[in-house]
Amino acid sequence: MAAGAVDVPLEYVRLGLRFDRLESGLVDAYTGEKRIRAEVESEPAPTPQGLRDQARALLQELEVSGLPADRAGFIRAQLTGLECSARKMSDEPVGFLDEVRSYFQVDLTLGEPADYAAAHAELDTLLPGEGALAERYAAHRRREECPPQRLGEAVHALSSALRDRVRGRYGLPEAETVRYEIVTDKPWSGFNYYEGDYRSRVAINADLPHRLSQLPHLVAHESYPGHHTEHCRKERGLVERAGHLEHTVFLVNTPECLMAEGLADLGVDASIGAGWGPWAAEVLGDLGLRFDGHLAERIAAAAAPLNRVRQDAAVLLHDRGADADEVAAYIQRWSLVSAERARQQLRFLTHPLWRAYITTYVEGYDLLHRWLAARPAGQDVADRFVRLLDEPLTPAVVTAELPAG
């Protein structure tokens, strides 16, 4: 680095830590030197306008930094998201679709009701009986609910089984550990708190019912091969071996979130693949917890198009001007959930920090699922997926790698 040149990766980390002083929780994880955080904490209180200007200045410095293209592209994408967050904090007018584009490098469109209706028709076939489909679907989900007092036991069994799979396919640092805890009064179902040194604390929200067939996805998403595995491998590879300081901080409402959530939602596909339902039924069956794994897998595939309803709800709320009652009714109708569950989803969609975040799950999974399916002929899923775990990819880079059309 030339004398007097700005250390862009370091200043990016400092900037991210300053954002957390204005919006606690915007730093999802920090594994860098305590000294750097302490220095930021001792600075005068930041202002949104000041952080906006710092983000813009760093974007200019990035152009003359001499960083390799992949590092520069990653930091540029992150700074663009941060600059938008600062404008939002300053109460500058930012349209919701522009906000999402700045955060996550994707453009949103509403889903097709015809696709939702087709999913309903397939679920109707899989769940025969009397009464409305929503009632039969709710009854099926209730039959699969894990007894609350056995939730921890089930999670640990699945975590151990998935960990064995991931160690074999992807490798993990010997010292890695995940600690699970049950929490309440949260707007999400599960959350990974990565603590550095290959350790995670995973919180699971007991306010929501957890279905036996959904638990493998939750554990895979948060731990193996999802968030915990990604953090471990990037800490060991990008930070410790390559010295890429920018990966010591993980920031909410930036493109890395869409990559991380899409990766995590592919966790069962990447670790188990087809047949995950019977596999999970066998693991949980050893505990005396039983569900029909074959049926669960077919229902999950049939219901997959309905995942986009949550993003529609955010667009209707924040871009189309619909009120909360209208949006709750929309969620109930197309997602086939109860009024209570619809309101829980609205809580997440209206949270100041998380209101745009649903896109990371919907568009993240869609983008990375297509990218994984488009792997070169003869390439194993694991060989493709490991790039997500190890490389500083962005949504724009992944999109560019997709076949034309």
Asked whether the beta carbons of 89 and 23 are under 8 A apart, the reply is yes
Q: Provide the token pair at 275.
A: 């047949």
- Return all residues near 58 (Cβ < 8 A) that are at least 6 apart: 6, 8, 11, 12, 15, 75, 79
- Cβ atoms within 10 Å of 57's Cβ, excluding its own: 14
Q: Provide the token pair at 53.
A: 């200007």
Asked whether the beta carbons of 299 and 221 are under 8 A apart, the reply is no
- Cβ atoms within 10 Å of 304's Cβ, excluding its own: 13
What gap in Å lies between CA 101 and CA 108, rounded to an integer?
Answer: 8
**Model pLDDT, residue 159:** 98
pTM value > 0.85: yes
Residue 211 per-residue DSSP state = B
Q: Which of 92, 20, 90, 23 is nearest to 353 (CA)?
A: 23
Q: Provide the token pair at 177.
A: 């550990």
**Model pLDDT, residue 225:** 98
**Model pLDDT, residue 184:** 85
Rg of the chain over all Cα atoms, to the nearest angstrom: 21
Q: Average pLDDT, whole number, for the chain?
A: 96
Output the tens digit of pLDDT for each of the chain's 405 residues: 554 589 999 999 999 999 999 999 999 999 999 999 999 999 999 999 999 999 999 999 999 999 999 999 999 999 999 999 999 999 999 999 999 999 999 999 999 999 999 999 999 999 999 999 999 999 999 999 999 999 999 999 999 999 999 999 999 999 999 999 988 888 778 899 999 999 999 999 888 889 999 999 999 999 999 999 999 999 999 999 999 999 999 999 999 999 999 999 999 999 999 999 999 999 999 999 999 999 999 999 999 999 999 999 999 999 999 999 999 999 999 999 999 989 989 988 998 888 999 999 999 999 999 999 999 999 999 999 999 999 999 999 999 999 986
Q: Which of 49, 102, 128 is nearest to 258 (CA)?
A: 102
The neighbouring-strand residues paired with 193 are 201
**Model pLDDT, residue 352:** 86
**Model pLDDT, residue 405:** 64
**Model pLDDT, residue 181:** 95
- For the range 38-41, what are the long-range contacts, defined as Cβ-Cβ under 8 Å and sequence gap of 24 or more? 39/14, 40/14, 41/17
What gap in Å lies between CA 252 and CA 30, rounded to an integer?
Answer: 12
- In the chain, the percentage of residues whose pLDDT exceeds 90 is 92
Q: Are strands 199-205 and 177-183 parallel, antiparallel or unpaired?
A: parallel
Q: Which of 356, 357, 305, 309 is nearest to 329 (CA)?
A: 309
Helix (H) or strand (E) holding 68: none
- Return all residues near 363 (Cβ < 8 A) that are at least 6 apart: 104, 106, 108, 258, 262, 311, 395
